[in-house]
């Protein structure tokens, strides 16, 4: 079945679903050969509507295999497992859905053709319910408390009721959304598909350098005046590639005129990445939007550059450009004689306290900031919370405040959910290149070093810890490592 026919049948099936002719919609969907992840998702929803749980599970399995970043598919498969009383698998899928949210409060799927917003607090609500079904009431309560950090006004009452239920060891209802809400193709795109070639014609840009290891698609550039000289000039291919080259991992079908159609293996050039996870890219002389998590950054290495610098095979050259512009860091300034306590958690923050502040006031301020109970928070003087450096109600606080320099002190913080195992999921990076800076705020490291992420300052700069040292460093110098077991 051609790409055009697939979109047309998808549109017909969605139209039948809008008329509530679900059996005909399902028949059309099942007739589509090689469905994409969104079509498999729609099939799963219709099976779920009919209570055909085994078929729904298979459809959501296929959707996730096609797009492992589709959080809403994990969520719906989790609902399917919940209805089948398979709570361990249900819990795993809800956790995967939360992970795919990447710390965002919600994902609005409207731009992809699904009129639904998946909220992080809803996912955490269902994680808590799965824990409760397994008899893990304390973990259920902790996840509901965690969901308060992602709450909206409309969701607050639901979370409060669930919290009351966990205190009484009573189950509560899962958060579900209507299974008749399906992914739809863009009608304008369906109508125009046969008249316009959205993919365009590929134009190959070849380097003038012999044995150049890179070839790909890029905006065509004017010829150099006077033509090539006897010796090779500065590689023209580098000037042709506007933006950072990325490889496409998954097929993306555009739903609006602002988006680009790409398939696995395409090479696109990222011009700008927004906070909403959409990237503005260049592909075949066209500019448009593609989900950034569909892309993987690629390293361009030129054989001639390696030969000139004498580098061996398999070793990537350091970044040719300077580190990105340093972030502006707003420092909290103490007032009067107060102290600034910098707290290192999964993110960093600061609180202001009076000189000689007792433990209960300090822990109260940190508890309020994190929205965790004081009992679930552990403070320490170093990143490793040993018996010697843990700060608690029995600690002589004068000895703590004597460590302050210029009325500033840094403490480390863990919460109970971290100590119960979440620290295993810390994000880590490997250094692709050596980074050395004389700036006291920066973290120096060597190529191959492992760095633990402490916080993301902005798109270009991260804060991390390496070999006992803490500081900021440019993101292009590192690559994220996969989490063990995930």
**pLDDT at residue 299, as a whole number:** 64
In this predicted structure, the answer to whether residue 400 has a pLDDT above a threshold of 60 is yes
Place 187 in a pLDDT band, splitting at 50, 70 and 90.
Answer: low
Full strand arrangement of the beta sheet holding 408-415:
348-353, 339-344, 408-415, 377-380, 390-391
Q: 95-104, 176-185, 190-199 — which is least confidently predicted? A: 190-199
In this predicted structure, the answer to whether residue 233 has a pLDDT above a threshold of 60 is no
> Bigger pLDDT: 252 or 79?
79
In this predicted structure, the answer to whether residue 88 has a pLDDT above a threshold of 60 is yes
Q: How far apart are CA 224 and CA 218, in angstroms?
A: 17
- Spell out the domains of the chain, with CATH numbers in brackets: 3-187 (1.25.40.10), 199-222+236-300 (2.30.30.40), 339-422 (3.10.20.90), 426-480 (2.30.30.40)
> Bigger pLDDT: 485 or 14?
14
Name, in order, each residue with C-beta under 8 angstroms of 294's C-beta and a sequence gap of 6 or more.
Answer: 69, 248, 249, 250, 252, 262
The β-bridge relationship of strands 348-353 and 278-283 is unpaired
473 bridge partner residues: 462
Q: pLDDT tens digit string along 419-442?
A: 444 444 578 899 988 888 766 678
Tell which residue, 265, 215, 260, has the closest CA to residue 241: 215
> Bigger pLDDT: 258 or 422?
258
State mean pLDDT over 65-78: 91
Which secondary structure element, helix H or strand E, spans residue 61, and what is its range? helix 53-66
Q: How far apart are CA 20 and CA 13, in angstroms?
A: 11
> Bigger pLDDT: 385 or 46?
46
Asked if 464 and 453 count as a contact pair (C-beta separation under 8 A), the reply is yes
* Mean pLDDT over each residue of the chain, to the nearest integer: 78
In this predicted structure, the answer to whether residue 475 has a pLDDT above a threshold of 60 is yes
> Percent of the chain at pLDDT above 70?
75
Place 193 in a pLDDT band, splitting at 50, 70 and 90.
Answer: low
> Bigger pLDDT: 415 or 223?
415
Instruction: Please tell me which of 280-284, 338-342, 390-394 the model is most confident about, judged by mean pLDDT.
Output: 390-394
Q: pLDDT tens digit string along 434-463?
A: 888 766 678 889 988 999 887 777 778 888
Question: Is 161 strand, coil or helix?
Answer: helix
State mean pLDDT over 128-145: 93
**pLDDT at residue 190, as a whole number:** 64
State mean pLDDT over 66-95: 92
Asked if 191 and 157 count as a contact pair (C-beta separation under 8 A), the reply is no
Q: pLDDT tens digit string along 288-308?
A: 888 888 888 876 544 334 444
Q: Cite the DSSP H helix spans in 233-383.
A: 236-240, 303-309, 359-370
Q: What's the Cα-to-Cα distance from 291 to each of 35, 123, 269, 427, rounded to whole Å?
A: 20, 21, 13, 21
**pLDDT at residue 309, as a whole number:** 46
**pLDDT at residue 278, as a whole number:** 83
pTM: 0.44
**pLDDT at residue 107, as a whole number:** 87
> Percent of the chain at pLDDT above 90?
24
State mean pLDDT over 309-337: 53
Place 350 in a pLDDT band, splitting at 50, 70 and 90.
Answer: confident
> Bigger pLDDT: 390 or 422?
390
**pLDDT at residue 376, as a whole number:** 86
């Amino acid at each position: 079945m051609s790409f055009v026919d697939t979109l047309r049948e998808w549109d017909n099936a969605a139209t039948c679903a809008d008329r509530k002719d679900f059996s005909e919609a399902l028949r059309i969907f099942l007739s589509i050969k090689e469905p994409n992840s969104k079509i498999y998702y729609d099939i799963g929803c219709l099976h779920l509507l009919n209570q055909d749980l085994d078929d729904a599970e298979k459809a959501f399995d296929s959707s996730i295999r096609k797009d492992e970043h589709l959080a809403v598919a994990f969520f719906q498969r989790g609902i399917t497992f919940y209805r089948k009383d398979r709570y361990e698998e249900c819990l795993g899928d809800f956790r995967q859905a939360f992970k795919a949210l990447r710390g965002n409060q919600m994902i609005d799927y409207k731009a992809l053709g699904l009129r639904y917003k998946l909220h992080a607090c809803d996912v955490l609500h269902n994680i808590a319910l799965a824990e409760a079904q397994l008899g893990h009431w304390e973990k259920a309560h902790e996840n509901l408390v965690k969901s308060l950090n992602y709450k909206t006004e409309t969701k607050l009452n639901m979370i409060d009721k669930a919290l009351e239920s966990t205190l009484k060891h009573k189950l509560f209802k899962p958060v579900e959304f209507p299974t008749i809400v399906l992914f739809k193709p863009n009608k304008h795109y369906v109508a125009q598909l046969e008249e316009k070639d959205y993919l365009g014609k590929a134009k190959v840009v070849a380097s003038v350098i012999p044995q150049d290891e890179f070839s790909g698609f890029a905006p065509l550039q004017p010829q150099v005046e006077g033509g090539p000289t006897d010796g090779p000039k500065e590689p023209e291919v580098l000037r042709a590639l506007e933006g950072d080259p990325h490889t496409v991992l998954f097929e993306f079908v555009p739903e609006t005129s602002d988006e680009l159609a790409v398939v696995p293996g395409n090479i696109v050039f990222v011009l700008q990445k927004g906070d909403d996870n959409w990237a503005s890219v260049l592909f075949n002389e066209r500019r448009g939007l593609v989900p950034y998590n569909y892309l993987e950054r690629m390293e361009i290495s030129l054989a001639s550059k390696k030969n000139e610098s004498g580098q061996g095979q398999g070793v990537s050259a350091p970044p040719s450009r300077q580190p990105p512009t340093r972030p502006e860091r707003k420092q909290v300034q103490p007032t009067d004689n107060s102290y600034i306590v910098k707290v290192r958690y999964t993110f960093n923050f600061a609180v202001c306290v009076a000189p000689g502040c007792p433990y209960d006031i300090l822990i109260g301020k940190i508890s309020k900031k994190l929205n965790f109970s004081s009992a679930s928070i552990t403070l320490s003087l170093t990143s490793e919370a040993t018996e010697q450096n843990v700060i608690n109600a029995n600690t002589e606080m004068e000895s703590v405040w004597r460590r302050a320099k210029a009325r500033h002190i840094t403490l480390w913080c863990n919460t109970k959910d971290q100590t119960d195992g979440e620290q295993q999921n810390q994000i880590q990076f490997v250094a692709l290149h050596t980074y050395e800076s004389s700036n006291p705020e920066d973290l120096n490291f060597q190529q191959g070093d492992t760095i633990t992420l402490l916080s993301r300052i902005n798109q270009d700069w991260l804060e991390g810890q390496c070999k006992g040292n803490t500081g900021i460093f440019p993101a292009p110098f590192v690559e994220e490592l996969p989490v063990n077991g995930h």
